[in-house]
Chains A and B, each alone.
Chain A
Amino acid sequence: MPETQPASTPTVNRRGIRNLAVLLLIVALAIIFGTGVLSITRVWDLIFLQPILNLLVLLSKYLQGNFGLAIIVLTILIRLITLPLTLRQLRSARTMRSLQPKIQELRKKYAQDKAQLTRELMMLYGGQRTSYAGCLLPILIQLPFWIAVYQSIVQALAATNENLLGLSQNLYSWSAIQGVLPLNEHFIGLDLLHGNFIMAILVALSIWVLQKISSQPSTDPEQEPMNRLMMVIMPLLFGFMAIGLPSGLSLFWIVSNAIGILIQYRIAGWGTLKMPSLPFPKAGTPQAAHNPRAKPEKTASTGNKDAEDVVSQQDGASLGGVGSEGKEAVGRRTISQGKKPRQ
Chain B
Amino acid sequence: MLDTGRTRFKKAILTAALLASLILTACVGPRGWPGAQVADNVLYVGTLYGTVLALNAENGRMYGNNTWEWKPTVEQGAGITEGNVTGAFLSCSRGGVGQFKAGYLYGSPLISNGTVYIGYHTGVVYALDATKGVEIWKHDIKSNIAAGLVFDSNTVYVGSTNGKVSALNAGNGSLKWDFTSENEVRGAPAVADGIVYFGSLDHKLYALDAIDGTKLWAVETEGEIASAPLVVDGVIYFGSFDSKFYAIDSGSGAIKWVFDKAGNWFWSRALYDDGIVYAASIDNRVYALDAGNGTLRWPEPFDAGSPLKASPVIASGVLVLASKDGKVFGLDLKTGREKWSSIDLGAKVLSDLCTDGQIIYINDQNGRIYALDGETGQIVWTETLADLDR
The answer to whether A136 and B11 touch across the interface, beta carbons within 8 angstroms, is yes
- Mark contacts of B261-274 with chain A using CB atoms, 8 A cut-off: 1 yes-contact digit, 0 otherwise: 00111010000000
Answer whether residue B45 sits at the interface, using C-beta atoms and an 8 A cutoff.
Answer: no
Answer whether residue A88 sits at the interface, using C-beta atoms and an 8 A cutoff.
Answer: no
The answer to whether A241 and B282 touch across the interface, beta carbons within 8 angstroms, is no
Which residue of the partner chain, among A146, A147, A160, A164, contacts B226 with CB atoms under 8 Å?
A: A164
**B108 vs chain A, min Cβ distance (A):** 14
Answer whether residue B275 sits at the interface, using C-beta atoms and an 8 A cutoff.
Answer: no
Among B30, B95, B186, the one with the most A-chain Cβ atoms within 10 Å of its Cβ is B95
The answer to whether A225 and B350 touch across the interface, beta carbons within 8 angstroms, is no
Q: How far is the CA of A114 from the CA of B183 in the complex (A)?
A: 66
Segment from A63-71, A74-82, A97-105 that makes contact with B: A97-105
Q: How far is the CA of A241 from the CA of B90 in the complex (A)?
A: 8
Answer whether residue A132 sits at the interface, using C-beta atoms and an 8 A cutoff.
Answer: yes
> How many A residues have CB within 8 A of the partner chain?
59
Chain A residue contacts of B309, Cβ below 8 A: 165
Answer whether residue B63 sits at the interface, using C-beta atoms and an 8 A cutoff.
Answer: no
Answer whether residue A234 sits at the interface, using C-beta atoms and an 8 A cutoff.
Answer: yes
Chain A residue contacts of B16, Cβ below 8 A: 234, 237-238
Segment from A25-33, A176-184, A290-298, A304-312 that makes contact with B: A176-184
Which residue of the partner chain, among B14, B23, B242, contacts A150 with CB atoms under 8 Å?
A: B23
The answer to whether B26 and A147 touch across the interface, beta carbons within 8 angstroms, is yes
Answer whether residue B214 sits at the interface, using C-beta atoms and an 8 A cutoff.
Answer: no
The answer to whether residues A147 and B5 also contact, given A179-B242, A193-B94, A244-B89 and a CB cut-off of 8 A, is no
Nearest to A173 among chain B residues (CB) is B263
Answer whether residue B317 sits at the interface, using C-beta atoms and an 8 A cutoff.
Answer: no
- Mark contacts of A129-162 with chain B using CB atoms, 8 A cut-off: 1 yes-contact digit, 0 otherwise: 0001001100110011011001100100001111
**B20 vs chain A, min Cβ distance (A):** 7
Answer whether residue B33 sits at the interface, using C-beta atoms and an 8 A cutoff.
Answer: yes
- Mark contacts of A210-231 with chain B using CB atoms, 8 A cut-off: 1 yes-contact digit, 0 otherwise: 0000000010100111110110
Nearest to A227 among chain B residues (CB) is B5
The answer to whether A181 and B241 touch across the interface, beta carbons within 8 angstroms, is yes
Which residue of the partner chain, among A143, A169, A194, A220, contacts B94 with CB atoms under 8 Å?
A: A194
Which residue of the partner chain, among A160, A163, A226, A234, contacts B5 with CB atoms under 8 Å?
A: A226
CB within 8 Å of B: which A274-328 residues: 323, 325-326, 328
The answer to whether residues A227 and B8 also contact, given A143-B15, A161-B106, A162-B30 and a CB cut-off of 8 A, is yes
The answer to whether A246 and B12 touch across the interface, beta carbons within 8 angstroms, is no
**A61 vs chain B, min Cβ distance (A):** 13
Q: How far is the CA of A136 from the CA of B15 in the complex (A)?
A: 9
Chain B residue contacts of A259, Cβ below 8 A: none
**A342 vs chain B, min Cβ distance (A):** 17
Chain A residue contacts of B7, Cβ below 8 A: 132
**A213 vs chain B, min Cβ distance (A):** 15
Chain A residue contacts of B4, Cβ below 8 A: 220, 223, 226
The answer to whether residues A328 and B14 also contact, given A147-B22, A181-B224, A182-B201 and a CB cut-off of 8 A, is no
The answer to whether A151 and B26 touch across the interface, beta carbons within 8 angstroms, is yes
- Mark contacts of A225-259 with chain B using CB atoms, 8 A cut-off: 1 yes-contact digit, 0 otherwise: 11101100110011011011110000000000000
Answer whether residue B9 sits at the interface, using C-beta atoms and an 8 A cutoff.
Answer: yes
The answer to whether residues A96 and B2 also contact, given A150-B23, A161-B33 and a CB cut-off of 8 A, is yes
CB within 8 Å of A: which B189-211 residues: 201, 203
Which residue of the partner chain, among A135, A144, A179, A238, contacts B222 with CB atoms under 8 Å?
A: A179
Answer whether residue A86 sits at the interface, using C-beta atoms and an 8 A cutoff.
Answer: no
Q: How far is the CA of A150 from the CA of B24 in the complex (A)?
A: 11
The answer to whether B26 and A150 touch across the interface, beta carbons within 8 angstroms, is yes
Answer whether residue A272 sits at the interface, using C-beta atoms and an 8 A cutoff.
Answer: no
The answer to whether A226 and B6 touch across the interface, beta carbons within 8 angstroms, is yes
Residues of A within 8 A of B (CB): 92-93, 96-97, 99-100, 103, 132, 135-136, 139-140, 143-144, 146-147, 150-151, 154, 159-165, 168-169, 173, 178-179, 181-182, 193-195, 218, 220, 223-227, 229-230, 233-234, 237-238, 240-241, 243-246, 323, 325-326, 328
List 7 other contacts, CB 8 Å, given A139-B15, A163-B30, A178-B242: A97-B3, A139-B11, A140-B14, A161-B186, A165-B282, A218-B5, A241-B20
Residues of B within 8 A of A (CB): 1-9, 11-12, 14-16, 18-20, 22-23, 26, 28, 30-33, 88-91, 93-96, 106, 146, 183-184, 186, 201, 203, 222-224, 226, 241-243, 263-265, 267, 282, 307, 309, 324, 350
11 contacts between A and B (CB under 8 A): A93-B3, A143-B18, A144-B22, A161-B33, A165-B282, A168-B265, A173-B263, A173-B264, A227-B5, A243-B88, A325-B12
